[in-house]
Structure 1
Amino acid sequence: MACGRMYRMHHMYDTEHIDEKWFNLYKGTTKYYLTASEQLLYRTCPNKKYIAKVMFLAVVARPRYDFHRKQHFDGKIGIWPIVEKIEALRSSINRPKGTMITKNVSMTRTLYRKFLVEKVFPSIRAKMPARRWSTVVVQQDNAGPHVLENDAELEIEGKVDGLSIKMRCQPPRSPDLN
């Protein structure tokens, strides 16, 4: 300690990390082992170099033992696809018009807020270890469509059911979280 300062590490039990992740719908080459009665899955793709991607919203926390439930909390809060189901406007060889198809959605601040209120906050309340009197901090990166730390609607929604949920942006140039 050259400067004479004491650094204290935060235990991060009350912090949830939220981030968007991209995943491929399938691999370019896939090996299947089928029985004689099974048929090979039909995969539609213009060519094997074109593989569609889907964005997911993932929330994780620090794993720990939950003494109230007498079980280990694995830290997995949830993962949700950022897609929408719409009707096909035209028919094709593979499907008729009006069939429900899945499309990627571009992430906006209103969509992000909707995901937080409808999916993330209820999942945090259901899965977090039983410390109902504490404040849970949801830490997000500093991307453009993310909500502000002092968003009025999220502050109201975060104080429902006795658990206070607050938003926080990750520190700039943080080596642990980038």
Structure 2
Amino acid sequence: MEMEEKEAQRKHTNAIKPLLTDTNKNNRLFFCISSCIYDEQTYGFKFSDMSNIVHIDEKLFYLTRTQQMYYLTPREPEPHGEIQSKRFVPKIMFMCAVAKSMYSSEGELIFDGKIGTFPFTAQVLAQRRSKNRNRGEQENSIYNKDTHKPEGASKIIYNQQDNAKPHILDNDPIFREAANQDGFNIHLVQQAPNSPDMNKAAYNYTQLVRAVTGAFEALEHHTLSFVWITLQVCKVEVLNKLGGINYHIPHMNKSKLAREGRLPDYLTVRKEIIYESLSHLDVNHLEVAYCTWEIKIKRFSIKQHNQQ
């Protein structure tokens, strides 16, 4: 009997997720529906290309952990780490910007999707000599990545950011002046609130910056392609859950599909899912949803479906 109970049990690590209000769910529904366009050929729905959307976010990296596990050989000495205060571990904030990888019709990479990762540090001269550098040497250097816009790419760009209070809005006058220069039309888009699924030894500061930027440079372009497909999968699940967050991300075997040349650029969405989601939108979001589609749906078809 004990053996049967033991076999019936399974290990599970539960992650706490944001508590969503009805307004949050409605905003999430609208956010996902706004990413869909009406396909006139199939009379169905699909996700937009998303090639003109940039995702930006900030993340804090601590110089070290207060506790860390190591695997050592029998005679290997134990690592020793020191810090002035365990309660106030030094940290650096990085801002990262990525977009969808772009390929030519022959499958040749023309843009890897990596715009850059930027540490919030300054170039200063060391005032005192230390074990890490001599007096007068530069420290906390910023490493930027030179980027080039591929030919034929859209100049209408959407930068998606979370709802952190320090973020400016799209109508900020200083931002609008800078965003419309050189023929560009750049917009700031706020993702739905409480939706983190809609947007992955001790060091000194210079070593930490090098480690983070090095990891970013090592990121493969096909990994970013997989991320954008996974984002669409998450949006489909949000529509299935009517804005909820209690879902598991389905596996697609993206690596196998990519090797076989069958990885799609976008996913399709069943009409039944769109209709059910529309029926749960409030009136204001529903009217805006019609206007965001490139080809509007005939309203009587939706009403007819809801009356069934």
Q: TM-score, normalising length from structure 2? A: 0.37
- What's the CA shift for 1:25? 4.0
**Partners of 2:178 and 2:130 in 1: how far apart?**
46
Residue aligning to 1:173: 194
Match of 1:75 in 2: 113
Shift of 1:144: 1.3
Q: Distance in 1 between matches of 2:92 and 2:192?
A: 27
Instruction: Specify which structure has the higher proportion of helix.
Output: 2
Alpha-carbon distance change, 165 to 131 in structure 1, aligned in 2, over 3 angstroms: farther
Aligned length: 141
Contact 2:170–2:176 (8 Å) recurs in 1 = no
**1:88-107 matches, cutoff 5 A:** 88=126, 91=128, 94=131, 100-102=138-140
* Structure 2: runs of 5+ lacking an equivalent: 1-32, 37-46, 72-80, 200-308
Distance 1:61 1:16 in 2: 5
Q: Larger radius of gyration, structure 1 or 2?
A: 2
Shift of 1:63: 1.6
Shift of 1:155: 1.4
Contact 1:66 1:73 in 2 (8 A): no
Higher relative contact order (CA 8 A, sep 6+): 2
Segments of 5+ residues of structure 1 without an aligned counterpart are 1-6, 32-43, 104-118
Distance 1:54 1:148, change over 3 A: same
Identify which of 166, 170, 186 aligns with 1:149: 170
Q: Root-mean-square deviation (CA), in Å?
A: 3.8
Which residue in the other structure is 2:48 paired with? 10
Shift, 1:174, TM fit:
3.2
Q: Distance in 2 between matches of 1:80 and 1:157?
A: 19
The answer to whether the Cα contact below 8 Å between 1:45 and 1:51 also exists between their aligned partners in 2 is: no
Q: Which residue of 2 aligns with 1:162?
A: 183
Which has more strand, going by share of residues?
1
Quick check: 2:103–2:110 contact (8 Å CA) kept in 1?
A: yes
Counterpart in 2 of 1:86? 124
What is the one-letter code of the residue matched to 1:148?
L
**Larger deviation, residues 80-89 vs 138-147:** 80-89
Matched, 1:46 2:83: yes
**Distance in 2 between the 1:140 and 1:77 partners?**
15
Q: TM-score, normalised by structure 1?
A: 0.58
Alpha-carbon shift at residue 84 of structure 1 (Å): 1.6
Query: Equivalent residues in 2 for 1:19-38 (5 A)?
Result: 19-25=57-63
| Displacement after TM superposition at 1:161 (Å) | 1.8
SS of residue in 2 equivalent to 1:153:
helix
Q: Distance in 1 between matches of 2:180 and 2:136?
A: 41
Equivalent residue runs for 1:119-158 within 5 Å: 123=147, 126-127=148-149, 129-158=150-179
SS at match of 2:171: coil
CA distance in 1, matches of 2:194, 2:140: 36
* Identical pairs, percent: 34
